[in-house]
Amino acid sequence: MFVLKKRKYTWLDMFRIPFSCAPVSTIVVTLQKVITMLVNVLQVVVVAEFVDSAVAAVMNRTFDRSALTWFIILMLMVSWKRVSYNIGRLFTKHIVIKGNEQFLNECTEKRSRLRYCLLENPDTEELINRITDKLERNISEMLQRFLNFFVIYIPRIAGVLIIIGMHVWWLAIVVTVMTVPLIAVSLRGGKKIYKANETAAVYERRHHYFFDLLTGREAVEERSLFGYSSFVNQQWHNQYDAARKINFKAEAMFTASINAGSILTSVLSSAIVIIMIPLTASGEITVGLFVSLSTAVYDLVNLMGWEMSKAVSQIAKFREYMRDLTQFAALPERQTGMEAADTEDAGIIEFKELEFKHVTFHYPGAETNILQDFSMKIERGQHYAVVGENGAGKSTLIKLLTGLYTDYEGEILLNGRELRSYSPKEWKKVFSGVYQDFARYYISVEDNIQIGNIGTIHEMESKKRMHLLAQKLGIHEAITSLRHRYATRLGKLDADSVDLSGGQWQKVAMARALMNEAPLLILDEPTAALDPISESQLYELFGEISKDRTTIFISHRLGSTKLANHIFVIGDGCIQEQGSHEELLQRGGSYAEMYKAQQSWYVTSEGGA
């Protein structure tokens, strides 16, 4: 089982990673490569013996059984080469499947534990993309190149050189000398190609985005309305061409250097064969050995000129890949002080109170504090609203509460205990909520809602709860009218998928949040896309359903604030006002001014509010 650890990954992990994912299949593939290598080496001897036996039989005009024996052995060797490829491919596919499953799972788990600020960093995103992009091909190639180089190419070259050296010692030295510059060129070329791919990745990410704009369904309405296809197509072409030129230049330089080396070694090999002709004529080497060694020398030239150079460049490439993996594994994770509490069977935490005490916070890279000496207190069973202008720090509060950022000054106390001392699983059992940019999962309706159940509710009870919530939110009838009811896939991926309206998606997201039995519910402006009256009605509905829990509504629109027992008004990084709706109106401060300015939004055409 592959486990991603904080350590230095090296070229040896080209074998270790596949082996840890699928040990049996990796051993089988390795044995297949070992046998293939032995066949390639011994074939030099077999061909020499077969040719000498055949020549002797022709010269003596007598049948020699040894020629038939060597011929049969030669045919078995040739047959093995054909069969072994299919054997290796079969077990390699199994390695790729298990590798994808385990390696990608470890990368996903690691990413989920990263500090939130890293996920907002483009460099981190590109690092993750380099590691996970084309993962299936990478796992297959890293094992194949490692085994080809260290199990087939190197032993094969060594074996053939030993055979050559036993008959013509100087020839073995010449062939050995020829391999050194090719290997050096290949190593440099592989590193350059990987670095070029790294540079081109930025442009590739951009041209993929523009390609999605040109072909995706998400932007089809505006693409048709504004007719911007030509403009976007030019942007796509510019980014695509930039990436293509970078990769092509590196590949061209590498190919040119390899071809130049191959031509040189081919000339030298031809010269070596010519030199062996008089040795054969003098009887120093046999005809069979001449044929066999000539073939072996040309095979080695081909092996060292392109196949081995490609393998070496790939090893150099994966050496850079392992450096990326080392860097990724070392990325800092969210810190929790009570890992022992991070257990599956931990029950729902009884919520008593939550308090911000003199909290100061600024985002990484920013110089201005978004919260400054901020203090507020939330008690069990109450409904709170946090309001303020855009950029006042409302959503920042939620990011701190849910552990997305932990590098703050001051204290955030949950039941009197610093929030950073809780484990991630404990966090998840305290908070649930709906965000402004809530996710629209292109899976079934049931799965969309059940994601909110983190395993605290039995399956049968979970379905009953799902149906009840859908009824209370007013979407049960719409769901049951679909072709596959709650099993209907949402989105635009399949022919029979169904896309919901904006309001229906929001109610699905709310049902997902309410599926979680967490004691504290958060709504971070999930209705910002709705008109003010619909927003107020949806908040009221949510407030009725969640009346037995503690809730926090985040909004810059004040239609929901009348539902709150207590309202916090944020400005300049701190609490400017707080109290009930009526108290704040009577005070005549900033809240009263905002509410009066927005009051007309919540008046219906009939004059009611």
Q: Is residue 317 part of a domain?
A: yes
C-alpha to C-alpha distance for 351 and 521, rounded to whole angstroms: 11
Q: Is residue 255 domain-shared with residue 357, that is, in the same domain?
A: no
CATH number at residue 135: 1.20.1560.10
pLDDT for the residue numbered 159: 87
Summarised one tens digit per residue, pLDDT across range 270-324 is: 777 787 788 788 777 888 888 888 887 777 766 766 666 677 777 877 888 899 9
**What's the domain range around 74?**
13-329
Mean pLDDT, the chain, whole residue set: 80
The answer on pLDDT for 7 being more than 90 is: yes
pLDDT at 577 over 60: yes
> For the segment 30-74, what is each residue's pLDDT rounded down to a tens digit?
999 999 999 988 988 898 888 888 888 888 777 677 888 888 998
CATH of the domain at 519: 3.40.50.300
In-domain check, residue 301 = yes
Over residues 579-583, mean pLDDT:
88
Largest CA distance in the chain: 123
pLDDT at 18: 93
pLDDT score of 154 more than 50: yes
- The length of the chain in residues reads 609
> How crowded is residue 374: how many other Cβ atoms within 10 Å of its Cβ?
24
Whether 13 shows a pLDDT value over 90: the answer reads: yes
Rounded to 10 deg, the angle between the 308-329 and 13-21 helix axes is: 70
Last residue of a domain, one of 295, 329, 363: 329
* Highest-pLDDT range among 123-127, 475-479, 511-515, 594-598: 475-479
Does residue 343 lie in a domain region? no
> Kindly report the CA angle at 172 between 166 and 174, in degrees rounded to 5?
155
Once rounded to an integer, what is the mean pLDDT over residues 536-556?
A: 75
pLDDT at 607 over 60: no
Same domain? For 541 and 401 the reply is yes
Q: Identify which of 412, 422, 480, 423 has the alpha carbon closest to the alpha carbon of residue 446.
A: 480
Mean pLDDT of all residues in 396-410: 85
Under 8 Å between Cβ of 396 and 386: no
The answer as to whether 518 is a domain residue is: yes
**Mean pLDDT confidence for 161-175:** 79
Mean pLDDT of 83-97: 90
Question: Is there a domain that residue 8 lies in?
Answer: no
pLDDT at position 535 is 66
Predicted confidence (pLDDT) at residue 608 exceeds the cutoff of 70: no
Q: Do 318 and 415 lie in a common domain?
A: no
How confident is the model over 483-504, as a mean pLDDT?
Answer: 81
Please give the residue that has the higher pLDDT: either 208 or 33: 33
Q: Which residue has the higher pLDDT, 274 or 189?
A: 274
Residue 607 lies in a domain: no
Judge whether residue 599 has pLDDT over 90.
Answer: no
Same domain as 320, residue 393: no
Q: Is the pLDDT of residue 536 over 60?
A: yes
- How many secondary structure helices (H) and strands (E) does the chain include? 21, 10
Per-residue pLDDT band for 517 (boundaries 50, 70, 90) equals confident
Q: Are residues 308 and 424 in the same domain?
A: no
Contact 526, 510 (CB under 8 A): yes
Averaged pLDDT for residues 538-554? 77
Alpha-carbon separation of residue 407 from 404, 410, 411, 467, 567 (angstroms): 10, 10, 11, 40, 26
> Per the structure, how many domains does the chain have?
2
Q: Which pLDDT score, from 0 to 100, does residue 340 have?
A: 39
Q: Is 339 within a domain? A: no
Pair (35, 119) in one structural domain: yes
Nearest to 73 by CA among 45, 32, 52, 35: 45
Same domain? 417 vs 298: no
* pLDDT 10s digits, 453-472: 765 556 667 888 889 888 88
Q: Does 2 fall in a domain?
A: no
Same domain, 153 and 117: yes
Question: Are 364 and 462 within one domain?
Answer: yes
pTM: 0.66
309 and 358 in a single domain? The answer is no
Inform me whether the pLDDT recorded for 603 exceeds 80.
Answer: no
- Boundary of a domain, candidates 329, 364, 384: 329
Residue 175 has pLDDT above 90, yes or no: no
Q: What is the pLDDT of residue 290?
A: 85
Contact 192, 250 (CB under 8 A): yes
Does residue 366 share a domain with residue 325? no
The pLDDT tens digits of the residues spanning 215-231 come to 766 666 676 666 767 77
Provide the pLDDT confidence category of residue 14 given band limits of 50, 70 and 90: very high
Q: For 199-213, 324-338, 339-353, 385-399, which range has the lowest pLDDT when averaged over its residues?
A: 339-353
Q: Does the pLDDT of residue 351 top 80, yes or no?
A: yes
If asked whether residues 309 and 369 sit together in one domain, one would say: no
Q: Which residue has the tokens 């998606």?
A: 505
Give the integer Cα–Cα distance in Å for 435 and 503. 14
